Structure 1
Amino acid sequence: MNFDFSDDQTSLRDAVRRFVDKEYSFDQRRQIVTAGGFSRAVWDGLAGLGLSALAVSDTHGGLGFGPVEAMVVMEELGRGLVMEPYAQAALVAPAVLSQAPDAVQADWLPRIASGDALVVLAHQERRARYQLNLCDTRATDGRLTGLKSLVPAGDQADAFIVPAQDAEGLALYLVTKDAEGLSLRPYALHDGSRAAELTLSHTPALRLVAADRGLEVLELAIDVAIAAQAAEAVGVMDRFVTLTADYLNTRNQFGVPIASFQALRHRMADVKMQLELARSMSYFATLKLNEPSAARRRALSQTKVQLGQSMRFVGQQCVQLHGGIGVTDEYVGSHYFKRLTVMEMQFGDSLHHLGEVSARMQDQAGVFV
């Protein structure tokens, strides 16, 4: 199988890398963290590159690109530790809104493509524990009541995609930020990014997807998010490994670089092996996004299990190979470690997805047939 990227995909990668190098240095990122963990200027810059239009169909003013282009972009954003919720707003939201009625698509998708509207998924609830079919938010006569947690950049978003139980089952709704009865409590996450608690009290909402397909579309949205996160994690780990290799080649002990020590070389070999395992599973997840639901869900859970193992191993080893400097706030490496730690817990942790993989294993070894 040919895993080479096309010229257009390579040009896209180079454009995103140049933007991140110029607009998202470590010092600039720290300023954004201090200011609250979200920069509208950075978001406008991403939109200016056309990235907000990446997954929107050309019918609605988008570029109509597919999962591979999204993977290319997410890897570069991961290398730069970009905190703005690009995957949520530019990949997940179009995936859901493309299933909405035509009038809703015509209203919102062009605004997403232009970067004028920031729409994020608000699905996580305290009792659900990653189970998408568990939802305490209720919809009655087009009004929602409930609480959603860990909404990315919640206080900066223009609208929210909210799963809620109505009389027919789990449906998906759109709630605008200025809707009556909506309140937000913003806070910072461990990696410096921004999130919020979203409280809805008889809040008017627009139904996007009815209950007959609500869970199916929500699962697709989460799978798109997992594939994007896998690519981002590869970018994060790739850059962290490079930083660690540079440090080992620079740090001297006994008059020689510590990269010459056999024990450390073996540890770096293990780190790079885990990185390549993660990269291969990221490719696997991306290529499986257009598969039927059962195959796609199993593949994305398998990806999340391997990414969880790789992120934990690479993060811990790279920090330890740096020594004390690896955990200081002034050093960029510690922030890569924080980002990997947060990602492992998002959209289902490793144990959750290990259970999902197990539940979806239908094949048996020949001896048991």
Structure 2
Amino acid sequence: MDFDFTDDQESLRDAVRRFVDKDYGFEHRRTTVRAGGFSRSNWEGLAGLGLMGLAVPEAHGGLGFGAIDAMVVMEELGRGIVLEPYAQGALIAPALLTMGEQALQATWLPRIAAGEALIVLAHQERGARYRLDRCSTVAQSGRLSGSKSLVPAGADADAFIVPAQSGEGIALYLVERGAAGLSSRSYLLQDGSAAAELMLNDCPATQLVGADKGLDALEFAIDIGIAAQAAEAVGAMEQLVAITVEYMNTRKQFGVAIASFQALRHRIADVKMQLELARSMSYYASLKLGEDAAQRRRAVSQAKVQLSQSMRFVGQQCTQLHGGIGVTDEYISSHYFKRLTTMEMQFGDGLHHLGEVAARMQDTAGVFA
């Protein structure tokens, strides 16, 4: 199998990397955190590159690109530990909107492609423990009541895609920011990104996907998120390793650079091995997004298991190799560690997905078919 990227994909990578290097430096990121963890100007900067239309169909003003192109973008955004929820607004939301009625698509997809609208998925609830089929938010006559937790950029989004119990199953609804009965409480996550609690009290909503297909659509959206997050984690780990190696080459003990110590060289070799394992599973997850639901779900869970192990190992080892400076807020590597730690718990942690993998491999007794 050819894993080389096309010239267009390399050009896309270079464009995003230039944006990250020029417009998303460490101090700029810290300023964004102090301002609430989300910046409309940053979002518009990404839109200026055409990235918001990456997954939007060409018929609605987008580029209609695929999963590998999205993976390339996410690696570079991870490299810069970009705070804005690109995967949510530019990958997950368009995928779900294309399942809705044409009128709804025509209203929102061109705005997403132009960077004028941010729509995020609000699916997590207290007590659900990453189970997508557990949903206490209720829909009655097109009105929603319930609450959602850890909604990305919840105080800044223009609309939300909300799963709710409707009849015999879970349906997906679109709720606009100004809807009556909708309120939110914002806060920062450990990595500095913005999140919010979303409260819905008899809130009017538009059905996007019916109860017969709602859970399947939600699972597909989460799989897109996991694949995107895997690529983002690879980019973040790659940059953290580069920062650590540079530090080891400049930090001296006993008159020599610590990079010359054999024990530390062995540790950084183990770190790079975990990075490459994560990269291979990131590719695997993105390539499997077009498969049938059973294969896709197993593949992304397998990827998340490996990514969880790699993120934890790389983050911990690189922090220890830095010593005390590695945990200070003023030094950039600590922010990579925080981001990796936060990602490990999003879309289901490693233990949850280990259970998912086990449940989907009963027939093969753990042997890959």
TM-score, length-scaled by structure 1: 0.98
Q: How far apart, CA to CA, are the structure 1 residues paired with 2:57 and 2:104?
A: 14
What is the letter of the counterpart of residue 49 of structure 2? L
Aligned position for 2:51:
51
Aligned position for 1:193:
193
Q: How far apart, CA to CA, are the structure 2 residues paired with 1:167 and 1:105?
A: 25
Structure 2 counterparts to residues 106-117 of structure 1, below 5 A: 106-117=106-117
What is the letter of the counterpart of residue 272 of structure 1? K
Q: How far apart, CA to CA, are the structure 2 residues paired with 1:179 and 1:285?
A: 36
CA deviation after TM superposition for structure 1 residue 75, in Å = 0.3
Aligned position for 1:69:
69
Aligned position for 1:307:
307
Aligned position for 1:11:
11
Change (3 A) 1:366 1:189: closer
Partner of 1:29: helix, strand, or coil?
helix
1:42 aligns with 2:28: no
Aligned position for 1:336:
336
Aligned position for 2:177:
177
Structure 2 counterparts to residues 141-290 of structure 1, below 5 A: 141-290=141-290
Partner of 1:162: helix, strand, or coil?
strand
Q: How far apart, CA to CA, are the structure 1 residues paired with 2:345 and 2:364?
A: 31
Q: How far apart, CA to CA, are the structure 2 residues paired with 1:211 and 1:109?
A: 23
Aligned position for 1:134:
134
- The CA deviation string for residues 211-266 of structure 1, in whole angstroms up to 9 with x for no partner, is 11000000000000000000000000000000000000001111111101000000
Q: Which region of structure 1 is more displaced relative to structure 2, 222-231 or 253-262?
A: 253-262
CA deviation after TM superposition for structure 1 residue 168, in Å = 3.0
CA deviation after TM superposition for structure 1 residue 366, in Å = 11
- The CA deviation string for residues 182-223 of structure 1, in whole angstroms up to 9 with x for no partner, is 000000000000000000000000000001100000000000
CA deviation after TM superposition for structure 1 residue 166, in Å = 1.1
Q: How far apart, CA to CA, are the structure 1 residues paired with 2:19 and 2:287?
A: 26
Q: How far apart, CA to CA, are the structure 2 residues paired with 1:341 and 1:237?
A: 11
Structure 1 runs of 4+ with >3 Å offset? 362-367
1:95 aligns with 2:95: yes
Q: How far apart, CA to CA, are the structure 1 residues paired with 2:56 and 2:364?
A: 41
Gaps of 5+ in 2: none
- The CA deviation string for residues 263-292 of structure 1, in whole angstroms up to 9 with x for no partner, is 000000000000000000000000000000
CA deviation after TM superposition for structure 1 residue 169, in Å = 1.4
What is the letter of the counterpart of residue 106 of structure 1? A
Instruction: Quote the sequence identity (%).
Output: 72
- The CA deviation string for residues 82-110 of structure 1, in whole angstroms up to 9 with x for no partner, is 00000000000011001111111111111
CA deviation after TM superposition for structure 1 residue 363, in Å = 3.6
Q: How far apart, CA to CA, are the structure 2 residues paired with 1:290 and 1:316?
A: 34
CA deviation after TM superposition for structure 1 residue 167, in Å = 1.6
Q: How far apart, CA to CA, are the structure 2 residues paired with 1:146 and 1:55?
A: 30
What is the letter of the counterpart of residue 113 of structure 1? A
- The CA deviation string for residues 33-92 of structure 1, in whole angstroms up to 9 with x for no partner, is 111111110000000110000000101100000000000000000000100000000000
Q: How far apart, CA to CA, are the structure 2 residues paired with 1:105 and 1:31?
A: 35
CA deviation after TM superposition for structure 1 residue 2, in Å = 0.9
- The CA deviation string for residues 149-204 of structure 1, in whole angstroms up to 9 with x for no partner, is 00000010000000000123100000000000000000000000000000000000
CA deviation after TM superposition for structure 1 residue 364, in Å = 3.3
What is the letter of the counterpart of residue 297 of structure 1? R
CA deviation after TM superposition for structure 1 residue 362, in Å = 3.4
Q: How far apart, CA to CA, are the structure 1 residues paired with 2:253 and 2:220?
A: 51
CA deviation after TM superposition for structure 1 residue 365, in Å = 5.8
1:360 aligns with 2:357: no
Q: How far apart, CA to CA, are the structure 2 residues paired with 1:189 and 1:365?
A: 39
Aligned position for 1:298:
298
Q: How far apart, CA to CA, are the structure 1 residues paired with 2:45 and 2:24?
A: 11
Q: How far apart, CA to CA, are the structure 2 residues paired with 1:240 and 1:366?
A: 33
CA RMSD of aligned residues (A): 1.1
Q: How far apart, CA to CA, are the structure 1 residues paired with 2:366 and 2:87?
A: 41
Conservation of the 8 A alpha-carbon contact between 2:358 and 2:366? no
Q: Which region of structure 1 is more displaced relative to structure 2, 107-116 or 272-281?
A: 107-116
Partner of 1:289: helix, strand, or coil?
helix
Q: How far apart, CA to CA, are the structure 2 residues paired with 1:40 and 1:105?
A: 23
What is the letter of the counterpart of residue 320 of structure 2? Q
